[in-house]
Structure 1
Amino acid sequence: MPLLIILFISFSVPVSAAPRPKLVVLVALDQFRSDYLTRFENLYLPAAAPGGKIGGFRYLMDKGAYFANTQTAHAPNVTGVGHAAMLTGALPYLHGIVANYWYDQALHEKFYCVQDAEAQTIGGKGGEHTGRSPRTLLVTTVGDELKNALGGKPRVVSIALKDRASILMGGHRADIALWFDEEAKGWTTSSYYLSDKQLPSWLVDWNKSEYLGKKVPEQWQLLLPEKQYWLSTPMTPEMIGDGRGLGKKFPHSIAGRLAPFLTSPWANAFTFDTALRAVSALKLGSGAATDLLAISLSAFDAAGHNYGPLSHEMQDMALRTDRMLSDFLNSLSHQIPGGMSDVVVVFTADHGVQPNPLLAAKLGLPGEAYHSADLADKGNVRLRALFGFDDSEKPIASVFEDNVAFDHALFQKRGKDAGEAARALASWLRSQPSIAAAYSRGDLLEGRVPPTEVARRLARSVHPERSGDVVFSMRPGYLGMDNHGYGGTEHESATVLDASIPLIFVGKPFKPGRYADMASLSDLAPTLSSVLGIIAPSGSEGHVLAKALRAAAQ
């Protein structure tokens, strides 16, 4: 094992002597950069809202142990990798989720990170990836170890619009992981969790509730007067993505349409309301053992890709979600027998995001957009010139999320050394103005990389079977825009804008305060495990954030 990985490892053992909470709630936001909390802080509800209500983000910031300088420790910074890290405390070289997709050499095609041919989607149509499960996750989660420690009695439930977010938070022993199936227009799950292949009755009823028609407005309008949005930057139409039918300026029309709804703030309210239904139906937080509820809000990512972090839309998304979070916490406090005093809330995100490249260009910031097909074409030309492949041959099989996978069958047929070609291609990539770092998989696995933070993050994230032959990271501002055209924005790199996330722990075991210490997303799982008095997950490599623990929890 490379020295740089050994040095990163710290082990966590259970040390809690305090009573366990009745319920742990993880609230994760998909594509919520850390500065969303501080930029808009003065516009959020106060920690104690009018009428004695619990506030939203400021309640977490003021009442919790708030690590404002938190980053992910891996790459690429995408949904699957980030959600896998949250409750495992592990890095991709161990947990195995190296990207949302990777290239399967045996199948000669991309493989989805929670794909499982042995599982069946229940209550939904499933779309491109019919079978889903956590079997590709190679380590345990906090929920798994909580069940292991307490005789299987804890209930573990995860909920997100995205299947990979829900499944990877829930882990192997989750009672149920729910996600939203757009084709079926309802919440669904997998036969992996429900052997009878029947959705629970409470969920069937919820799917029939006509939420979109009854609780979602016809238009998404600004919550506050327009002058309050001076923190955001006006953009021209070409800087914005297609918005999934929302349009490019306020007011945005929803008008009962599913795709615009799922890209709007009300998709976050929908997810919170589904979580409250689960709490009520399953009586989470009411038993003798600690239960775990993991929630991810996916609408931030859907809207963020189209409008970008500096937009009026993302400011309004944050402001509205602040109020929705307050409603959720207040409702939750009335459902749990001991109220919020018996609840631990953990708040984080899977990754950050970079500014829209066309906006960045207008502002004079470095960077530009590219498409992976262009990189593959240029890489194939380079490899043909260096290794004698014919013009009709494509030695690069796939470029996926800052990975380049070769066609190994072609290399074997032509008697070419894929390892030598990977080092040559990585060297060429490093000479490109858009590339911050690029290394062959072999060099990363053996630790032959410079002592830079970007290189360390790539080395922590490479898996011998799932990663590409070459792994790279773009320079700040240079974005692969395959899924979003040249309007909108992206996130993937190992650099700070994509890696910066919030991390807050709220509850009896934690000392409220704003901590300036650098923290990692990988610290979440061992810290939470410590206060629960259980062993950390099997691949955990983060540190227990001991400064934030009260004496009784140390």
Structure 2
Amino acid sequence: MRTSIALATCATFLALNANASPTAAPAQPKLVVVMAVDGLPQEQLLRYRGQFGDGGFKRLLTQGAMFADAHQAHGTTVTAIGHAAILTGAYPYQHGIVGNNWIDRASGKSVYCTEDQRHQYVGEATAPSDGTSPAKLRVDTLGDQLRYATGNQAKVVAVSGKDRGAILLAGKGGTAYMYMEGSGNFASSTYYMPQHPAWVQRYQAGKPQDRYYGKTWRPMLADAAYQLDAGDTPFAISYYSESGSPDASYYKRLKEGPFVDELTLEFARAAIEGENLGANPAGVPDLLGVSLSAHDYVNHAHGPESRMSHDHLQRLDRMLAGFFTYLDKRVGSDNYLVVLTADHGFANSAEFSQRQHIDAGRVDGKALMDGLQRHLDATFGAGKVALTALLPNIYMDEEALAKAGVQRAAVEQAATRWLRAQTGIADVYTRSRFEEAGATGTRIDLLLRRAWHRYESGDLVVVPRAYWSFGAGSSGATHGTPYAYDTSVPLLMMGKRWIAPGTYAGYTEVVDIAPTLATILGVRKPAGAEGRVLTEALARR
């Protein structure tokens, strides 16, 4: 009964649109494409926009809507949390994805955000911690609502270089395909299907990932184009293996440069054709999620201020141009809507910031935790307080505290005082502080409360100072804080029948995407969605 009502409602909506007058709401898009560029700060998009070609980012900026002050508005800005926000419209305190990894309180062990040992990759080796299902995602997504509203006739497919990028965009009812670093294939898992459809098998048989063997990634622009980047040394990164032929080491290396993004977009085209996305025989919209992973790897290794990061973004721009041209021909330029955003921003490398006379550095997480444990042993007695950490989260052993007769509040206070005195630490948020009712205080208070889940998050959340990060070493960059360089991301929408082009300066959040698309599609927004509809950018109805 529920399915028949949903089908009737959708059919009525489509029929009304088909017979609508010119002033009525435009028909639904045949295909919604939601794209995430992993680790792309808004600052980079604006800094390099003068060098983009006509068909990629520049097309989105000129023919679509750009939200100039858009944010991943939660306090722990990492890949899994950011991807979960895009199509749930929810914050971590609801959707339950509190990091890429966190500590399971029952076992005391680290768990991965999309691991599910009940399922395996289809035709690929699977480790226990590999991402195979959305079981840990506690809410539904826009794709789930679209499938519900159409009696499961709408197709929802997501593809990514990272399993968490695909799985968290696909939601509960879609289908995820992810890059396999052991084979270079894109594969799904038994959560979604027992075996791959014929189009995937044909794609895999062609071994497109092997075409890059022996190729070298070099800057695509003239040297003068990179003169403002940190360092002026040209780079050349070759893709090969010690064995002399494509193998697991080569396929893993492909993830760390532009070629994995080329493969991701190529597989997305294969999915459009194999699943007939955008030409659904039931006459309902389809949804495609595409997460492009390489920019994050490049920024981690070299920093967003680097020549390699700059060049990768230019290459990605050209890839997007080709993909949009393909959509124009395959689906029709009037029939699809694109949203492009990012899961998080990025800090500059500490060494670069220091050269700009900014107080920046790295906090060695192991040394920090060793020092905290010694302090608590001296305060309460050795072994009475047991801690486990995946920074910024620190977990207490409640059973050990009860057995030792130590009050959690006393440990919170002692740990907070000691941590705040350490170099590079700005503040500590405790379970007691999070559970207090009342006003949130500062914006950082708000972002951290949104990121804290009472069952999954730690009893202490440690916040580094601005431009400081957790980690050892002396190179590379990272993200994960509530500061603007980590929260500020692009938010671009293009679809001339639904989106009014222009630059919108008002504050927006990534969680606004799901309610806005739900309004355009005429479906119920996801249950946990707290974002608003971006009415200012909707085409006049």
TM value normalised by structure 2: 0.90
State the 1:150 CA deviation: 1.6
Aligned match of 2:262:
269
Q: 1:452 aligns with which of 426, 435, 442?
A: 442
Q: What is the rounded CA distance, in whole Å, between the counterparts of 2:104 and 2:386 in structure 1? A: 15
Going from structure 1 to structure 2, the CA distance change for 1:235 and 1:417 (only over 3 Å counts) comes to: farther
State the 1:135 CA deviation: 1.4
Once the two structures are overlaid, the 10-residue window that deviates more, 161-170 or 422-431, is 422-431
**Contact (CA 8 Å) 2:512, 2:533: kept in 1 or not?**
yes
Aligned match of 1:7:
none
Aligned match of 2:4:
none
**Contact (CA 8 Å) 2:182, 2:252: kept in 1 or not?**
no
Counterpart mapping for 1:268-287 below 5 A: 268-287=261-280
**Contact (CA 8 Å) 1:441, 1:462: kept in 2 or not?**
no
Going from structure 1 to structure 2, the CA distance change for 1:156 and 1:416 (only over 3 Å counts) comes to: same
**Contact (CA 8 Å) 1:383, 1:421: kept in 2 or not?**
yes
**SS of the counterpart of 1:165?**
helix
Aligned match of 2:165:
165
Aligned match of 2:494:
506
Q: What is the rounded CA distance, in whole Å, between the counterparts of 2:284 and 2:66 in structure 1? A: 27
Matched to 1:317, the amino acid is H
Matched to 2:239, the amino acid is I
State the 1:334 CA deviation: 1.6
Matched to 2:397, the amino acid is D
Aligned match of 1:425:
415
Aligned match of 2:480:
492
**SS of the counterpart of 2:334?**
helix
Please tell me whether residue 189 in structure 1 is matched to residue 188 in structure 2.
yes
Matched to 1:456, the amino acid is L
Q: What is the rounded CA distance, in whole Å, between the counterparts of 1:230 and 1:367 in structure 2? A: 24
**SS of the counterpart of 2:503?**
strand
Q: 2:45 aligns with which of 34, 37, 61?
A: 37
Aligned match of 1:227:
224
Matched to 1:258, the amino acid is Y
**SS of the counterpart of 1:397?**
strand
**Contact (CA 8 Å) 2:103, 2:109: kept in 1 or not?**
yes
Aligned match of 2:299:
304
**SS of the counterpart of 2:106?**
coil
Gapped runs of 5+ residues in structure 2?
1-16, 18-23, 241-245
**Contact (CA 8 Å) 2:230, 2:307: kept in 1 or not?**
yes
**Contact (CA 8 Å) 1:83, 1:169: kept in 2 or not?**
yes
Please tell me whether residue 468 in structure 1 is matched to residue 458 in structure 2.
yes
Aligned match of 1:251:
236
**SS of the counterpart of 2:348?**
coil
Q: What is the rounded CA distance, in whole Å, between the counterparts of 1:26 and 1:423 in structure 2? A: 44
Please tell me whether residue 330 in structure 1 is matched to residue 325 in structure 2.
yes
Residues 447-495 of structure 1: CA deviation (Å, up to 9, x unaligned): 477611111111111111100010132221111126xx33111101010
Aligned match of 1:241:
none
**Contact (CA 8 Å) 2:363, 2:424: kept in 1 or not?**
no
Please tell me whether residue 140 in structure 1 is matched to residue 140 in structure 2.
yes
Q: 2:200 aligns with which of 196, 200, 203?
A: 203
Residues 21-71 of structure 1: CA deviation (Å, up to 9, x unaligned): 00000111000000121111110012xxxxxxxx00000011111102111
Q: Percent identity?
A: 33
Q: What is the rounded CA distance, in whole Å, between the counterparts of 2:231 and 2:131 in structure 1? A: 42
**Contact (CA 8 Å) 2:139, 2:528: kept in 1 or not?**
yes
Aligned match of 2:375:
382
Aligned match of 1:478:
468
TM value normalised by structure 1: 0.88
Going from structure 1 to structure 2, the CA distance change for 1:185 and 1:128 (only over 3 Å counts) comes to: farther
**Contact (CA 8 Å) 2:230, 2:306: kept in 1 or not?**
yes
**Contact (CA 8 Å) 2:212, 2:239: kept in 1 or not?**
no
**SS of the counterpart of 1:26?**
strand
Residues 391-418 of structure 1: CA deviation (Å, up to 9, x unaligned): xx762112x2411112334323322223
**SS of the counterpart of 1:69?**
strand
Matched to 1:514, the amino acid is T
State the 1:131 CA deviation: 6.1
Going from structure 1 to structure 2, the CA distance change for 1:74 and 1:211 (only over 3 Å counts) comes to: same
Matched to 2:403, the amino acid is K
Residues 309-341 of structure 1: CA deviation (Å, up to 9, x unaligned): 0000010000010000011111122221xx121
Please tell me whether residue 516 in structure 1 is matched to residue 513 in structure 2.
no
Q: What is the rounded CA distance, in whole Å, between the counterparts of 1:198 and 1:110 in structure 2? A: 30
Matched to 2:457, the amino acid is S
**SS of the counterpart of 2:489?**
strand
Q: What is the rounded CA distance, in whole Å, between the counterparts of 1:342 and 1:84 in structure 2? A: 26
Aligned match of 2:433:
443
Q: What is the rounded CA distance, in whole Å, between the counterparts of 1:252 and 1:282 in structure 2? A: 35
**Contact (CA 8 Å) 1:39, 1:231: kept in 2 or not?**
no
Matched to 1:396, the amino acid is L
State the 1:91 CA deviation: 0.3
Q: What is the rounded CA distance, in whole Å, between the counterparts of 2:298 and 2:128 in structure 1? A: 22
Residues 138-165 of structure 1: CA deviation (Å, up to 9, x unaligned): 1110000111112111100010011111
Gapped runs of 5+ residues in structure 1?
1-14, 47-54, 237-248
State the 1:259 CA deviation: 2.8
Q: What is the rounded CA distance, in whole Å, between the counterparts of 2:427 and 2:291 in structure 1? A: 31
Aligned match of 1:358:
351
Residues 496-551 of structure 1: CA deviation (Å, up to 9, x unaligned): 11111000111121110011111111111111111111111110011111111122
Q: 1:369 aligns with which of 362, 365, 381?
A: 362
State the 1:420 CA deviation: 3.2
**SS of the counterpart of 1:159?**
strand
Q: What is the rounded CA distance, in whole Å, between the counterparts of 1:95 and 1:535 in structure 2? A: 17
Q: What is the rounded CA distance, in whole Å, between the counterparts of 1:26 and 1:217 in structure 2? A: 33
Going from structure 1 to structure 2, the CA distance change for 1:447 and 1:368 (only over 3 Å counts) comes to: farther
State the 1:264 CA deviation: 1.0
Q: 1:396 aligns with which of 371, 384, 387?
A: 387
**SS of the counterpart of 1:514?**
strand
Q: What is the rounded CA distance, in whole Å, between the counterparts of 2:235 and 2:79 in structure 1? A: 28
**Contact (CA 8 Å) 1:353, 1:491: kept in 2 or not?**
yes
**SS of the counterpart of 2:388?**
strand
**Contact (CA 8 Å) 1:449, 1:455: kept in 2 or not?**
no
Aligned match of 1:11:
none
Matched to 1:61, the amino acid is L
**SS of the counterpart of 1:292?**
strand
**SS of the counterpart of 1:340?**
coil
| Aligned pairs, number | 508
Matched to 1:495, the amino acid is Y
Matched to 1:270, the amino acid is L
Aligned match of 1:340:
333
